[in-house]
Amino acid sequence: MTPQPGTTAGTTRAVFLDVDGTYADYGVVPAGHVRAVRAAREAGHKVLLCTGRPVSMLPPTILGAGFDGLVASAGAYVEVGGEVLLDRRFPTDLAASTVAALDEHDAVYVLESQESLHVPPAAVARLRTIIEAHFRRGPDGRATGSSAILDSMRPITNPKAVSFAKISVFDAPIPMELLARQIGEAIAVVENSIADEGRHAGELYQRGISKADGVAAVIAHLGMEREDTIAIGDGQNDLEMIAYAGVGIAIEGSSPELLALADRTAAPPHREGLVAAFAELGLC
């Protein structure tokens, strides 16, 4: 197939895929997406996941297609070919003040590290209910994709001993923006792509870190140029990487802000949108 405008025949590309709402649909990867990733890699391109999830939330069902690396925790962690390039965690003082504010408001949250997910013991039952309810909204009506989160959860026994890269808040009595302001300027907040049932929910991360940092670290390591990158996503934590990439693709139905930044759009995962997108870009 002849590559469409914005592509270059014979050029090795680095493709960065968001997971939830882009590569996977409620945690389930369409068969067509697996085939597209494998075909692109066989053609010599580099394909990496670029997700807000930590490594501990990426089960074999998501990783099974095979990838050249991944950007996890929305840019705080980067790994290529098994080599860790970045692993940024909350500084001790910031971690303590953030957890204290969450506990003060009796929030339901997960401290996300690459090794596991850390949950306050009192919030485990509430969290399970929220997560399973979300994934039951998927096309099969079952909570299939919830296992990636639930199976990685570990009750917090010593908060001071937990090292984490990001926090997902699934329920809180006040809006996330107010909570972030209470903690301080070092904290930023973005929408949570999993807990989207109208609760006060969001992801708290260190201000200044984004998926674009991960993309930059990967291509520097691989010796590739920025213009040879393709980024595909659907969420607010994809804004920076879509703007940074040589070709930015937003999933149909994304926010107006993300759509305005993108060079083109792709269909959502339940329609196997990456199949057509990869073909149009000449990746396979």
Residues 80 and 151 in one domain: no
Residues 83 and 102 in one domain: no
Residues 189 and 132 in one domain: yes
Per-residue pLDDT of the chain (284 residues; tens, 9 = 90+): 334 444 455 789 999 999 999 999 988 999 999 999 999 999 999 999 999 999 999 999 999 999 999 999 999 999 999 999 999 999 999 999 999 999 999 999 999 999 999 999 988 888 888 888 877 777 766 667 787 788 788 999 888 899 999 999 998 999 999 999 999 999 999 987 665 555 688 999 999 999 999 999 999 999 999 999 999 999 999 999 999 999 999 999 999 999 999 999 999 999 999 999 999 999 99
Question: Strands, E, within the chain: which ranges?
Answer: 14-17, 46-50, 69-72, 77-80, 83-87, 108-112, 117-119, 153-155, 166-171, 187-190, 202-206, 229-233, 247-251, 264-266
Per-residue pLDDT tens over the stretch 271-282: 999 999 999 999
Residue 1 pLDDT: 33
Structural domain includes residue 274: yes
Q: Which of 189, 206, 223 corresponds to the end of one domain?
A: 206
Q: Structurally, how many domains does the chain consist of?
A: 2
Per-residue pLDDT tens over the stretch 223-252: 999 999 999 999 999 999 999 999 999 999
Q: Which of 181, 206, 231 corresponds to the end of one domain?
A: 206
Would strands 69-72 and 77-80 be described as parallel, antiparallel, or unpaired?
antiparallel
CATH number at residue 154: 3.30.1240.10
Question: Strands, E, within 65-220: which ranges?
Answer: 69-72, 77-80, 83-87, 108-112, 117-119, 153-155, 166-171, 187-190, 202-206
Structural domain includes residue 2: no
Residues 196 and 214 in one domain: no
Contact assessment for residue 176 and residue 204, using Cβ atoms and an 8 Å cutoff: yes
Residues 199 and 129 in one domain: yes
Residues 78 and 97 in one domain: no
Domain that holds residue 167: 92-206
Residues 124 and 136 in one domain: yes
Reference 52, options 62, 61, 60, 38; nearest CA is 62
Residues 110 and 196 in one domain: yes
φ and ψ at 166, to 5 degrees?
-160, 165
Residues 40 and 123 in one domain: no
Residues 183 and 97 in one domain: yes
CATH number at residue 46: 3.40.50.1000
Cα–Cα distance for residue pair 78/219, rounded to 1 Å: 11
Q: Which of 206, 227, 250 corresponds to the end of one domain?
A: 206
